[in-house]
Amino acid sequence: MESLERASCSLLPAHLACPNSQILTPNPSQIPKSRPQILPKFLKPSSRIPPKSAPLESLELAFCSLVPADLAFLSQSFHAPALKRLDLSGHDFSQGLLEPLRLLLEETSASLLHLDLMECRMADSHLDALLPTLRRCRRLRFLGLYGNSLSTAALKELLRKTLELPDLRLVVYPFPADCYEAADSRWGLEEDVDGERLAEAEEEFSRILESSQRRDLVWTCDPYGHGAGDYFCL
Protein backbone atom coordinates (compact mmCIF):
# COMPACT_ATOMS: atom_id res chain seq x y z
CA MET A 1 0.00 0.00 0.00
CA GLU A 2 1.31 3.45 -0.86
CA SER A 3 2.12 5.79 1.99
CA LEU A 4 0.24 9.00 2.64
CA GLU A 5 2.99 11.12 1.07
CA ARG A 6 3.31 9.17 -2.15
CA ALA A 7 -0.42 8.72 -2.55
CA SER A 8 -1.08 12.42 -2.08
CA CYS A 9 1.63 13.75 -4.41
CA SER A 10 -0.82 14.20 -7.24
CA LEU A 11 -3.03 16.29 -4.97
CA LEU A 12 -0.32 18.72 -3.88
CA PRO A 13 0.15 22.21 -5.29
CA ALA A 14 3.00 22.58 -7.77
CA HIS A 15 5.26 24.20 -5.17
CA LEU A 16 5.33 21.10 -2.97
CA ALA A 17 7.94 18.42 -3.51
CA CYS A 18 7.58 14.84 -2.31
CA PRO A 19 10.99 13.13 -2.59
CA ASN A 20 10.15 9.77 -1.02
CA SER A 21 7.58 7.83 0.95
CA GLN A 22 8.64 9.12 4.36
CA ILE A 23 9.77 12.70 3.81
CA LEU A 24 7.76 15.72 2.68
CA THR A 25 9.69 18.82 1.65
CA PRO A 26 7.88 21.90 0.30
CA ASN A 27 9.76 24.31 -1.95
CA PRO A 28 9.69 27.59 0.05
CA SER A 29 10.66 29.77 -2.92
CA GLN A 30 7.32 29.06 -4.56
CA ILE A 31 5.08 29.44 -1.52
CA PRO A 32 3.25 32.80 -1.41
CA LYS A 33 4.48 35.06 1.38
CA SER A 34 0.98 36.14 2.33
CA ARG A 35 -1.54 33.35 2.49
CA PRO A 36 -3.90 31.38 4.74
CA GLN A 37 -2.80 28.15 6.37
CA ILE A 38 -1.47 25.59 3.92
CA LEU A 39 -0.74 22.36 5.81
CA PRO A 40 -4.34 21.07 5.86
CA LYS A 41 -4.32 21.11 2.06
CA PHE A 42 -1.72 18.36 1.82
CA LEU A 43 -1.67 16.63 5.21
CA LYS A 44 -5.37 15.92 5.62
CA PRO A 45 -6.38 12.47 4.32
CA SER A 46 -8.89 12.41 1.47
CA SER A 47 -10.88 9.78 -0.39
CA ARG A 48 -7.90 9.34 -2.71
CA ILE A 49 -5.51 8.56 0.14
CA PRO A 50 -5.65 5.11 1.73
CA PRO A 51 -7.03 5.43 5.30
CA LYS A 52 -4.29 3.25 6.77
CA SER A 53 -1.40 5.20 5.26
CA ALA A 54 1.73 5.52 7.39
CA PRO A 55 2.23 8.88 9.12
CA LEU A 56 5.03 11.18 8.06
CA GLU A 57 8.36 10.74 9.83
CA SER A 58 10.04 13.87 8.46
CA LEU A 59 8.79 17.38 7.73
CA GLU A 60 11.16 19.98 6.30
CA LEU A 61 9.23 23.26 6.38
CA ALA A 62 12.04 25.81 6.59
CA PHE A 63 11.18 29.34 5.42
CA CYS A 64 7.67 28.31 4.37
CA SER A 65 5.81 31.25 6.01
CA LEU A 66 3.63 29.03 8.15
CA VAL A 67 0.92 30.62 10.28
CA PRO A 68 -0.14 29.55 13.81
CA ALA A 69 -3.06 27.56 12.44
CA ASP A 70 -0.63 25.42 10.42
CA LEU A 71 1.26 24.33 13.53
CA ALA A 72 -1.98 23.81 15.43
CA PHE A 73 -3.27 21.59 12.63
CA LEU A 74 -0.04 19.60 12.56
CA SER A 75 -0.02 19.08 16.33
CA GLN A 76 -3.55 17.63 16.12
CA SER A 77 -2.80 15.39 13.14
CA PHE A 78 -1.88 11.71 13.30
CA HIS A 79 1.57 12.62 11.94
CA ALA A 80 2.71 14.46 15.09
CA PRO A 81 3.33 11.44 17.38
CA ALA A 82 5.39 9.76 14.63
CA LEU A 83 7.64 12.64 13.58
CA LYS A 84 11.37 11.98 13.89
CA ARG A 85 12.69 14.99 11.98
CA LEU A 86 11.22 18.49 12.08
CA ASP A 87 12.76 21.54 10.39
CA LEU A 88 10.97 24.83 11.06
CA SER A 89 13.93 27.13 10.43
CA GLY A 90 13.27 30.64 9.21
CA HIS A 91 9.98 31.22 11.04
CA ASP A 92 9.46 34.07 13.49
CA PHE A 93 8.84 32.44 16.86
CA SER A 94 9.08 35.77 18.65
CA GLN A 95 5.44 36.38 17.71
CA GLY A 96 2.33 34.20 17.61
CA LEU A 97 4.05 30.97 16.56
CA LEU A 98 5.75 30.26 19.89
CA GLU A 99 2.82 28.68 21.75
CA PRO A 100 1.74 26.56 18.73
CA LEU A 101 5.35 25.36 18.49
CA ARG A 102 5.39 24.42 22.17
CA LEU A 103 2.17 22.43 21.77
CA LEU A 104 3.54 20.71 18.66
CA LEU A 105 6.71 19.70 20.49
CA GLU A 106 4.60 18.21 23.26
CA GLU A 107 2.87 15.99 20.70
CA THR A 108 6.14 14.95 19.02
CA SER A 109 8.20 14.55 22.20
CA ALA A 110 8.04 10.75 22.28
CA SER A 111 9.44 10.27 18.77
CA LEU A 112 11.42 13.38 17.81
CA LEU A 113 15.12 12.84 17.00
CA HIS A 114 16.05 15.94 14.99
CA LEU A 115 14.80 19.49 15.59
CA ASP A 116 16.01 22.44 13.52
CA LEU A 117 14.99 25.95 14.64
CA MET A 118 17.70 28.02 12.97
CA GLU A 119 17.14 31.73 12.24
CA CYS A 120 13.82 31.87 14.08
CA ARG A 121 14.28 35.24 15.84
CA MET A 122 14.27 33.55 19.21
CA ALA A 123 15.54 35.50 22.22
CA ASP A 124 16.23 34.31 25.77
CA SER A 125 12.60 34.58 26.87
CA HIS A 126 11.39 32.42 23.98
CA LEU A 127 13.96 29.72 24.66
CA ASP A 128 13.05 29.81 28.34
CA ALA A 129 9.41 29.20 27.43
CA LEU A 130 10.33 26.21 25.24
CA LEU A 131 12.89 24.63 27.55
CA PRO A 132 10.48 22.57 29.70
CA THR A 133 9.00 21.02 26.56
CA LEU A 134 12.41 20.44 24.99
CA ARG A 135 13.42 18.50 28.09
CA ARG A 136 10.52 16.13 27.44
CA CYS A 137 11.98 15.18 24.04
CA ARG A 138 13.93 12.30 25.56
CA ARG A 139 14.97 10.79 22.23
CA LEU A 140 16.27 14.04 20.74
CA ARG A 141 19.68 13.66 19.09
CA PHE A 142 20.12 16.91 17.15
CA LEU A 143 19.10 20.46 18.08
CA GLY A 144 19.79 23.37 15.72
CA LEU A 145 19.49 26.90 17.09
CA TYR A 146 22.01 28.74 14.92
CA GLY A 147 21.08 32.30 13.96
CA ASN A 148 18.96 33.14 17.03
CA SER A 149 19.64 36.01 19.44
CA LEU A 150 20.51 34.06 22.59
CA SER A 151 22.82 35.20 25.37
CA THR A 152 25.67 33.24 26.91
CA ALA A 153 23.63 32.88 30.11
CA ALA A 154 20.64 31.44 28.23
CA LEU A 155 22.84 29.01 26.32
CA LYS A 156 24.51 27.84 29.54
CA GLU A 157 21.08 27.18 31.03
CA LEU A 158 20.08 25.27 27.88
CA LEU A 159 23.25 23.19 28.10
CA ARG A 160 22.74 22.35 31.77
CA LYS A 161 19.09 21.40 31.31
CA THR A 162 19.58 19.31 28.16
CA LEU A 163 22.47 17.29 29.59
CA GLU A 164 19.75 15.02 30.97
CA LEU A 165 18.69 14.04 27.43
CA PRO A 166 20.54 10.72 27.10
CA ASP A 167 20.53 10.51 23.29
CA LEU A 168 21.48 14.11 22.50
CA ARG A 169 24.63 14.11 20.36
CA LEU A 170 24.87 17.46 18.56
CA VAL A 171 23.74 21.00 19.36
CA VAL A 172 24.43 23.83 16.90
CA TYR A 173 24.10 27.03 18.91
CA PRO A 174 24.29 30.67 17.73
CA PHE A 175 27.10 33.11 18.43
CA PRO A 176 26.01 34.46 21.84
CA ALA A 177 24.28 37.84 21.51
CA ASP A 178 26.58 39.36 24.13
CA CYS A 179 29.66 38.42 22.10
CA TYR A 180 29.03 40.91 19.32
CA GLU A 181 31.33 43.92 19.16
CA ALA A 182 28.52 46.49 18.94
CA ALA A 183 24.75 46.60 19.33
CA ASP A 184 24.37 47.65 15.68
CA SER A 185 26.56 44.84 14.34
CA ARG A 186 25.28 42.88 11.38
CA TRP A 187 23.74 40.24 13.55
CA GLY A 188 24.62 36.64 12.82
CA LEU A 189 27.87 37.36 10.95
CA GLU A 190 31.03 35.83 12.37
CA GLU A 191 33.18 38.82 11.40
CA ASP A 192 31.18 41.03 13.80
CA VAL A 193 31.81 38.74 16.78
CA ASP A 194 34.36 39.70 19.43
CA GLY A 195 36.77 36.77 19.33
CA GLU A 196 37.85 37.14 22.95
CA ARG A 197 34.29 37.17 24.28
CA LEU A 198 33.38 34.19 22.12
CA ALA A 199 36.41 32.25 23.36
CA GLU A 200 35.37 32.95 26.96
CA ALA A 201 31.82 31.74 26.28
CA GLU A 202 33.09 28.60 24.56
CA GLU A 203 35.35 27.91 27.52
CA GLU A 204 32.36 28.14 29.87
CA PHE A 205 30.43 25.68 27.72
CA SER A 206 33.41 23.33 27.64
CA ARG A 207 33.73 23.38 31.43
CA ILE A 208 30.07 22.45 31.85
CA LEU A 209 30.45 19.59 29.36
CA GLU A 210 33.62 18.33 31.01
CA SER A 211 32.10 18.36 34.48
CA SER A 212 29.09 16.43 33.19
CA GLN A 213 31.34 13.80 31.58
CA ARG A 214 29.15 13.89 28.47
CA ARG A 215 31.95 13.11 26.03
CA ASP A 216 29.39 11.94 23.48
CA LEU A 217 27.79 15.40 23.17
CA VAL A 218 29.11 18.01 20.75
CA TRP A 219 28.27 21.69 21.22
CA THR A 220 29.32 23.90 18.31
CA CYS A 221 28.53 27.28 16.75
CA ASP A 222 29.66 25.96 13.34
CA PRO A 223 26.54 24.97 11.36
CA TYR A 224 28.62 23.28 8.66
CA GLY A 225 31.52 21.62 10.45
CA HIS A 226 29.54 18.76 11.96
CA GLY A 227 27.09 16.72 9.97
CA ALA A 228 23.70 16.31 11.61
CA GLY A 229 23.61 12.77 10.29
CA ASP A 230 20.82 10.73 8.85
CA TYR A 231 18.19 10.66 11.56
CA PHE A 232 17.06 7.21 10.43
CA CYS A 233 20.57 5.89 11.23
CA LEU A 234 21.26 7.78 14.47
Query: For residue 229, what pLDDT is reported?
Result: 56
Task: Kindly tell me the sign of the dihedral angle through the C-alpha atoms of 154, 161, 57, 80.
Answer: negative
Rounded to an integer, the average pLDDT of 173-200 is 80
The architecture in CATH of the region 4-220 reads: Alpha-Beta Horseshoe (3.80)
Give CA–CA dist 22/224, Å, rounded. 25
Q: Grade residue 18 by pLDDT with cuts at 50, 70 and 90.
A: very low
Q: Could you tell me where the DSSP H helices lie in 135-189?
A: 152-162
Give CA–CA dist 124/153, Å, rounded. 9
Answer whether residue 24 shows pLDDT above 70.
no
Query: For residue 50, what pLDDT is reported?
Result: 52
Give CA–CA dist 171/150, Å, rounded. 14
Answer whether residue 150 shows pLDDT above 70.
yes
Rounded to an integer, the average pLDDT of 159-164 is 97
Contact 118, 223 (CB under 8 A): yes
Rounded to an integer, the average pLDDT of 55-72 is 93
Residue that wins the pLDDT comparison between 214 and 228: 214
Query: For residue 33, what pLDDT is reported?
Result: 47
Three-state secondary structure call for residue 87? strand
Give CA–CA dist 87/100, Å, rounded. 15
Query: For residue 12, what pLDDT is reported?
Result: 31
Answer whether residue 186 shows pLDDT above 80.
no
* Cα–Cα distance list, 17 to 1, 55, 114, 199 (Å): 20, 17, 20, 42
Domain range list for the chain: 4-220
Strand order, beta sheet including 142-144: 16-17, 23-26, 58-60, 85-87, 114-116, 142-144, 170-172, 218-220
Q: How high does pLDDT run on average in the chain?
A: 81
Neighbours of 225 (CB within 10 A): 9
Query: For residue 62, what pLDDT is reported?
Result: 94
Percent of the chain beyond pLDDT 70?
A: 71
User: How is 39-68 classified by DSSP, letter by letter?
Assistant: HHHHHS--TTS-TTPPPPSEEE-TT----H
